[in-house]
Structure 1
């Protein structure tokens, strides 16, 4: 949960709607996290690199209209408890909705493979990913959005892979639960 001092009156526009929720979260949680830079943006919200309790962490700010997805993602990530290299939830604030999680790195699978890699190195990363996915499945979770941008590769000082992290569990489900898909716009 968020610290009580982080929950302040939300700024509202003339219509009473919250004005710039992302800015609100970042500005009013300043005692607890300092925004360093944006990491990415998706259909459900945005992720920022922050300093939280002296460590680099990721802050995911979810669109207010996606509160159900926020609740499900936090629940699933807590269930995983780091399985498959998944980030650990450090704090969650459903009123906003936003959560802080461990930061898993910056080298996505696609960026890693765009660098010239030896065949054996590629096989090692694929094996690490298969093991990570097996850990996620063993916890009773199906990712439903596994792609190269949702896999981060840990590398050592020489650029050699040491592990992988499966991230972004916003579409994840328990086995047998359906994922409602909408027709593409256009």
Structure 2
């Protein structure tokens, strides 16, 4: 028996009844599915050894195809058998469609990588910054404060003092808040450390690194900026009105970020708001960065706020009754900050004055929400373009 095997293309039907010496076209564009069509013709052949040899070759080809573990590889490998010959040819040809699939797959992967990298960059370096903060926390947990170099005392009050340190291992400044035990207890220190952990840097709040129980202190991120009190005294009269309104807008946004984390600050006054403003003398003119600090009185909404004494607290906290913390307390204190600005600056916008008057109401329910301050300030700073962007987002 003589077998004649011809390779044919399934999709276009390559092949025909040509001479036995004609080979299949190799350079033709081929698809990913190739079949081997075997046509057998019966001949009276006296040489039985040739027939047995051809049957052995066919069995070897079939076994090779069955033993292929990768089904895609089976489609990629073309098996040729030269007609009228016992010579076995098996050249590997990679299909053009398979190459195109590989190129498109690599292109999609590269696009995904670029998107992930750009996302990390657009988050203002938050990814790398968070990794750095975690590394510092692990380092301090292991070695404590032994590798810290004391720089200076940067602030002091009736409840404690703030110290500045240099961490050579990471080339960064750190701040340590040391509490006076005669005015505070360990529960207050643990509460502030917990609130800083919940906030997690929102509103420019310092990230906590270590609670030093031995020294009754908290080691935290060092925030750069001048206090709102210093800003009011030295610079507020010399900056443009638009920049001043942008600073007030950033303060309202920072407070809203803190509220979004489920924390009420309860101590928003001049020394607890840090402003980093570039008036043109730095590398980024007009840039504004706000840091809300000192979360010693901070509470979660719905928890007991406590009883306070002094002029910087809302009226409901001075009544001597036990009240629950709510965002309206911070709105009242924000109104007090804006009231001091309106009293200092000429031609302060009337719209903000109206909101300030409402925020200082003795009834918490009559006070405007933070988003109303942000909306009005955004219109004054950015004009109608900001309102159009907000409408597009809502739609």
Asked if these proteins are the same fold (TM beyond 0.5), I'd say: yes
Q: Secondary structure at 2:185's aligned position in 1?
A: helix
Question: Among 289, 297, 307, which residue is 1:171 paired with?
Answer: 297
Q: Give the TM-score normalised by structure 1.
A: 0.77
Partner of 2:28: none
* CA–CA distance in structure 1, aligned partners of residues 164 and 286 of structure 2: 24
Give 1 or 2: higher strand fraction: 1
Partner of 1:110: 229
Q: Which runs of 4+ in 1 moved over 4 A?
A: 1-6
Partner of 1:36: 151
* CA–CA distance in structure 1, aligned partners of residues 292 and 308 of structure 2: 24
1:175 Cα deviation from its structure 2 partner: 1.1
* CA–CA distance in structure 1, aligned partners of residues 275 and 307 of structure 2: 29
Contact conserved, 1:59 with 1:101, CA < 8 A, in 2?
yes
* CA–CA distance in structure 2, aligned partners of residues 103 and 5 of structure 1: 19
Partner of 1:153: 275
- 1:182 and 1:112, CA in 2 relative to 1: closer, same or farther beyond 3 A? closer
Say which is worse superposed, 105-114 or 156-165, in terms of deviation: 156-165
Q: Give the TM-score normalised by structure 2.
A: 0.38
- 1:58 and 1:148, CA in 2 relative to 1: closer, same or farther beyond 3 A? same
Residues 71-92 of structure 1 show CA distances to partners (whole Å, capped at 9, x for unaligned) of 0000000111100100001222
* Matched length: 161
1:43 Cα deviation from its structure 2 partner: 3.3
* CA–CA distance in structure 2, aligned partners of residues 113 and 143 of structure 1: 21
- 1:122 and 1:181, CA in 2 relative to 1: closer, same or farther beyond 3 A? same
Instruction: Note the residue ranges of structure 1 that are not aligned, 5 or more in a row.
Output: 7-28
Within 5 A, what are the aligned runs for 1:94-133?
Answer: 94-114=213-233, 115=235, 116-133=238-255
- 1:111 and 1:182, CA in 2 relative to 1: closer, same or farther beyond 3 A? closer
1:131 Cα deviation from its structure 2 partner: 0.5
Give 1 or 2: higher helix fraction: 2
* CA–CA distance in structure 2, aligned partners of residues 34 and 166 of structure 1: 25
Residues 102-136 of structure 1 show CA distances to partners (whole Å, capped at 9, x for unaligned) of 11113112222331221111100111011100000
Instruction: Note the residue ranges of structure 2 that are not aligned, 5 or more in a row.
Output: 1-136, 311-395
- 1:161 and 1:74, CA in 2 relative to 1: closer, same or farther beyond 3 A? same
Within 5 A, what are the aligned runs for 1:1-186?
Answer: 3=141, 29=145, 31-52=146-167, 53=169, 54-64=171-181, 65-114=184-233, 115=235, 116-156=238-278, 157=282, 160-181=286-307
